[in-house]
Chains A and B, each alone.
Chain A
Amino acid sequence: DTGVSQNPRHKITKRGQNVTFRCDPISEHNRLYWYRQTLGQGPEFLTYFQNEAQLEKSRLLSDRFSAERPKGSFSTLEIQRTEQGDSAMYLCASSFPDLNTEAFFGQGTRLTVV
């Protein structure tokens, strides 16, 4: 499978716990994006990387959120001290700007904070 892969697909956690999600982009894509989608809304941008450099962060990405892409390949998104308001679908996408490609999305990780 050469698409964008996200793991886990579902995560249930207790309020106050830390969670980490992983995204593996399409192999030749050097840009990677994270979005959050709550029920009934369109996805909202969180952050994006070009290779290992984090180029933009939304103000939605509070201090409890951190994203990394240490080797310019896969990325992780960590949420510390989760709150019920963090319950959402977290989407990852990748693109290859040199070929002017649009973003290709993964299937998302659904987070439920109880």
Chain B
Amino acid sequence: AQTVTQSQPEMSVQEAETVTLSCTYDTSESDYYLFWYKQPPSRQMILVIRQEAYKQQNATENRFSVNFQKAAKSFSLKISDSQLGDAAMYFCAYSRGSTLGRLYFGRGTQLTVWP
């Protein structure tokens, strides 16, 4: 069974600083994707970044980057130059390669950004 674990219920960061959110997962599949979704108070889930398991290079999207450690089944999100608008609940999620929308989510990490 696929499981996703986020061990940090809450994190906080000062504006302009860097923060890293942790995620581990468990799967026996070889073809899969990992995602970080952001859910602000408006509740709409927004994709932050995705990583294909077959790619060795870590994905980056502007201030967001991941550290994908396939052997350790670890997938952390680094937010650089944090902004007030980054404050939200962040969910790590897994999907099989054949069904990207069929997601297994972690319990989330609430990120607070202090001015």
Number of interface residues of B (CB under 8 A): 24
A48–B96 alpha-carbon span in the complex (Å): 14
Would A48 and B42 count as touching, CB distance under 8 A?
Answer: no
Set B42, B91, B99, B108: member contacting A97, Cβ < 8 A: B99
Chain A interface size band reads 20 to 34
Would B43 and A102 count as touching, CB distance under 8 A?
Answer: no
A residues lining the B interface (CB < 8 Å): 31, 33, 35, 40-45, 48, 56, 89, 91, 93-95, 97, 100-108, 110
A43-B45, A48-B99 given; 11 more Cβ-contact pairs under 8 Å: A33-B101, A33-B102, A41-B107, A42-B91, A42-B107, A42-B108, A45-B103, A95-B100, A102-B35, A104-B47, A108-B44
Can you give 26 A-B contacts (C-beta < 8 A)?
A: A31-B99, A31-B101, A33-B103, A41-B107, A42-B91, A42-B93, A42-B107, A43-B45, A43-B91, A43-B105, A93-B101, A95-B100, A95-B101, A97-B100, A101-B100, A102-B100, A102-B101, A104-B47, A105-B37, A105-B44, A105-B46, A107-B42, A107-B43, A107-B44, A108-B43, A108-B44
